[in-house]
Amino acid sequence: MKSFPYPEDALLLAPLSGYTDLPYRRAARRCACSYAFTEMVDAAALAYARKRSESLLLRGEDEGFLGVQLVGANCEHLKIALDVLNEYDFDILDFNLGCPVPKVAKKGAGAELGRHIDRALECFSLFRERSRHRLSAKIRIIDATDSAPTLELARGLAELGVEAITIHGRVKEAFYSGPVAFEQIRQVREALVDVQIIANGGVTNQAKYDEIRRETGCKAVMLARGAMGNPWLFREISEGEAYSPPTFAEWLEVMQEHIEGMIALYGEESAMCISRKILHDYFKGRGFRGELRDKISFLQNRADFNEFLGLIPIKDDVSRKTV
């Protein structure tokens, strides 16, 4: 039997542009995440502005499994970027054919490239020809009502040697909201028995995790936005009924450690600018007053952050109420 890249019931942290840097991954790993990715890396930036992209490729000495994800639609850029990535040790190389954001789609990359199947497969053939890493791809369903295009793309990737495909069950225009097309994911899984199919989309708690596994038949699942500010989602799913939400002390410690890691990596001012969205995620749905959360947008340096920490009231319950 073919050996897949991940254990049967693996939980994966998605490659999230602007989020899954080393401090983000360490917070997730502390909460039972074993399979993580770098941020999405743009092929053109890696090809022609390598120095600016190197921080995205940073791998901590304490990290276990780590994948890297490349996005791009220009074959020349992809060739150079693939050669650069061959210099780095990653456990798997993923091709992004699912990112829906306009700045990616307008370049013909991500989910837009996934809709042009012949072109997408031409690009992926370069991965097979030039990369020394194991190969995977992350795609979206192409048509909300017709599974044929998605099956065609998945089969083409399989013929080119992909070992795993993560499928986000929404079309490009839906971004991250609306129903997930479980049946289309199931059809791909049933059609490609020699490729590991990983379900993705809308998993924000144990119930949603159970649903996507039940409805798609996929054992492995990728978590993305549901883990933003809630790395404990990995522990919740891993522990099941035995799970206990974080105490206030643990929530505060993980959040503070995360931001301190960003300061160490980026420097005070840059880190505090980048970390505002991270902090908003940690506070979202945990019952803190709006006046406190509003202060996050004005943090400039470590002194501001330390002062902000002193304003946080101790709470009996910081379990995530909404997502």
Under DSSP, is residue 71 helix (H, G, I), strand (E, B) or coil?
strand
Does 218 share its domain with 268? no
Tokens 């600018």 correspond to 273
Residue 233 structural domain: 11-242
Q: Look at residue 323 in the predicted model and tell me its pLDDT.
A: 52
Does residue 316 belong to any structural domain of this protein?
Answer: no
175 and 91 fall within a common domain: yes
Same domain, 238 and 252: no
Name the strand (E) or helix (H) holding 68.
Answer: strand 66-71
At 197, the amino acid letter reads: I
pLDDT at position 100: 97
Residue 65 and residue 13: Cα distance in Å, rounded? 11
Residues ≥6 apart with Cβ < 8 Å to 39: 15, 16, 17, 18, 19, 20, 21, 56, 69
E strands, 186-318, in order:
196-200, 221-223
Token code pair at residue 90:
């990653």
Give CA–CA dist 308/280, Å, rounded: 13
Cα angle 187, 192, 194; round to 5: 150
Distance CA 82, CA 130 (A): 7
CA distance 116 to 191: 21
Q: Is the pTM of this model over 0.85?
A: yes
Report d(CA 113, CA 119) in Å as an integer.
7
Residue 111 neighbours by CB distance under 10 Å: 25
Instruction: Report helix, strand or coil for 134.
Output: coil
- For residue 279, the SS3 value is helix
- Integer Cα distance of 113 and 96 in angstroms: 9
Q: What is the CATH number of the domain that holds 209?
A: 3.20.20.70
Q: Which of 242, 268, 287 is the endpoint of a domain?
A: 242
CA distance 142 to 148: 9
Is residue 229 domain-resident? yes
Q: Which secondary-structure segment (H or E) carries 103?
A: helix 102-105
> Looking at the structure, do residues 271 and 132 belong to the same domain, yes or no?
no
User: For 56-92, how does the pLDDT look when each residue is reduced to its tens digit (9 = 90+)?
Assistant: 999 999 999 999 999 999 999 999 999 999 999 999 9
pLDDT of residue 320: 85
Contact 321, 229 (CB under 8 A): no
- Do 238 and 287 reside in the same domain of the chain? no
* pLDDT, position 321: 67
136 and 42: one domain? Answer: yes
Same domain? For 136 and 230 the reply is yes
CA distance 101 to 158: 26
Q: Enumerate residue ranges in the chain where pLDDT < 70.
A: 1, 321-323
For residues 201 and 177, what is the distance between their CA atoms, to the nearest angstrom? 9
Domain boundary among 207, 242, 277: 242
Q: How far apart are CA 15 and CA 12, in angstroms?
A: 9
